[in-house]
Structure 1
């Protein structure tokens, strides 16, 4: 990170936007010069807002991402304490949730071969199975989607500093592509989209968003619902999802209002970098900051296109918070209360046994 230490002009633009950098009381140049601490590395949400506003084109979040990997490699941070998050373990929290609440896609998985497949992403397929199925049915109709792929893109491993394990998962994804002769992938998750796109395109497999694929019906609403869109951090630079969602909402008769920070300058909801597992206090500050901006926009509804963001915000908001696909496809919100149900799994003696099973090596 010599470049960051030498080229950062300490203008304060990233610090003004990032609550984490503000609490450190140090500029990225100062942190790079002395070296980031383990605590700092896992207090950064890796959201990229700092890079988006840097006039020098620097990427401070990479300093903290690299420090996470170094901390794991040198034994300064025991990532195994968070193994309940590892998507390459059969007993991870999302698999446990699906098993506990009967979320199952075996009737749809591997239903076909070749062509285009739907990759919902872990959060959507786990916490909103009704929407996942509705989207898949529409994709079958609109573009002859052949199958649903209930895998993880591996991003949580990379966020935890486990690069080699993330790369191993990506190798497995490539093998699955070849085994099923898949030529195209459609995803609803911006995290998955940007994580997988370079991997799959290297295999001559196209990667598209659901919003550029589905055929949404234009509508002329007499009483337009005023909504504001929360932009997901992985989308902040390309804004592929952000533009497509806004276009679909406008065609659907919604009135769009922007928050103070949107697009490339959007504030992280607190989901980035698995932050809530390391800094729940900072996560709460980010949630409240985002909800304040949503209220100040004058909107009646807050819409997200990343379900992780929606789940982080909806339980704390007096304003309705929903997923873009729920409103665009007019599908009921089965994600409501999902986080509470996840916590209930581990309540009482039965919950303790379930936790022990999940954490067993």
Structure 2
């Protein structure tokens, strides 16, 4: 089945691509491969090429034939795992279904927990913060949860991952089992509505929620009537903001529109980068590409930051925490903030946070932590 899906994805491009070159003109990976998309589909991408794709979807946004090269790369990832062309277990430190992974370890080492919020309890409404926010922005989670509680005392905090890394790594069957476990939990907790802060989680679980009859909201919809969010800034705090758009929101533009509307109502002035909304550039963390080609990932970061600089904005805002972290990992010019930090009026220092997470595994103690995380 995996080989068949890869063949179908490649065949669609072979049959329909007009070789206009628009996808190649926008994509650093396709520029590096430097051959026509049809030629690439005929020979099928290599394992390395497949895992160097950020799966961002910019290619499909610019394609006049509505083709999606990213699905070809994703299908090759799945085929590579199924046929043993890559030892995906080498990357098990990312697997969200393991007892210990990078994010769980980071929370453990840094004493990050949510016991006082009584998480994962039965409730009609649940806040799905997402593993990145739970791990790297605990203050933001607490403020958001308490703000949601002002509107609904019974809201519950969920501490789950959405399972997206399993899909990105080519582990489709494992992803399906993970999603089934999440379904079982939501039924057990009798959840009727999910509120999402992360666009990755929202779109990853959208069809599952629909199938289960669970209503879904973005955090911006949930906070629309919150006094805290709607109180305009004092004049001296109103700055010029440019918004980096998240790849999974590319087609629907739900988070893009709601985040901009909320920022404008708050009193911020908005300017756009050259690539925005459905044609936004990837932040460099999409598809877990930083684990497979750090050099390409860094090149994507620099391309985005050049557009930020050209916008002359005073603040770069993103509504995906993964994007915030990646765009601020070695950035020392324009400050990077999550949109929610700006709306809730408390800024955080995200600079170098990803680097600090990587430093967990340095030195003798770091080696011991690595042994723990990679243990079978």
**TM-score, with length taken from structure 1:** 0.97
Pairing 1:233–2:247 present: yes
What SS does structure 1 have at the residue aligned with 2:230? coil
Paired with 1:336 and 1:183, the residues of 2 have a C-alpha distance of 37
Pairing 1:265–2:274 present: no
Pairing 1:44–2:53 present: yes
Q: Which has the higher helix share?
A: 2
By relative contact order (CA 8 Å, sep 6+), the higher-ranking structure is 1
What SS does structure 1 have at the residue aligned with 2:116? coil
Deviation string for 1:172-208 (max 9, x for gaps)? 1100111010000001000000000111110000111
Q: Is the 8 A contact 2:330 2:351 kept in 1?
A: no
Q: Is the 8 A contact 1:236 1:265 kept in 2?
A: yes
How much does 1:220 deviate? Answer: 5.5
**1:346 matched residue in structure 2:** 361
Cα 1:145–1:59 shift into 2, 3 Å: farther
Pairing 1:70–2:83 present: no
Paired with 2:369 and 2:222, the residues of 1 have a C-alpha distance of 40
Cα 1:168–1:109 shift into 2, 3 Å: farther
Paired with 1:334 and 1:302, the residues of 2 have a C-alpha distance of 13
**2:130 matched residue in structure 1:** 121
May I ask how many residue pairs the two structures share in their alignment?
361
Paired with 2:14 and 2:349, the residues of 1 have a C-alpha distance of 47
Match of 1:287 among 301, 317, 335: 301
The Cα RMSD (Å) is: 1.3
**2:7 matched residue in structure 1:** none
Cα 1:52–1:111 shift into 2, 3 Å: closer
Paired with 2:233 and 2:327, the residues of 1 have a C-alpha distance of 29
Pairing 1:304–2:337 present: no
**TM-score, with length taken from structure 2:** 0.93
Q: Is the 8 A contact 1:109 1:150 kept in 2?
A: no
Paired with 1:20 and 1:160, the residues of 2 have a C-alpha distance of 18
How much does 1:218 deviate? Answer: 4.0
**2:290 matched residue in structure 1:** 276
What SS does structure 2 have at the residue aligned with 1:182? coil
How much does 1:316 deviate? Answer: 2.6
What SS does structure 1 have at the residue aligned with 2:296? helix
**2:3 matched residue in structure 1:** none
Q: Is the 8 A contact 2:246 2:282 kept in 1?
A: yes
Cα 1:291–1:336 shift into 2, 3 Å: closer
Paired with 1:207 and 1:53, the residues of 2 have a C-alpha distance of 29
Pairing 1:107–2:116 present: yes
Pairing 1:175–2:190 present: no
Paired with 2:118 and 2:181, the residues of 1 have a C-alpha distance of 17
What is the correspondence of 1:1-361 to structure 2 with a 5 Å cutoff? 1-110=10-119, 112-144=121-153, 146-214=155-223, 215=226, 216-219=229-232, 221-223=234-236, 224-317=238-331, 318-333=333-348, 335-361=350-376
Paired with 2:114 and 2:91, the residues of 1 have a C-alpha distance of 26
Paired with 1:172 and 1:260, the residues of 2 have a C-alpha distance of 41
Cα 1:350–1:266 shift into 2, 3 Å: same
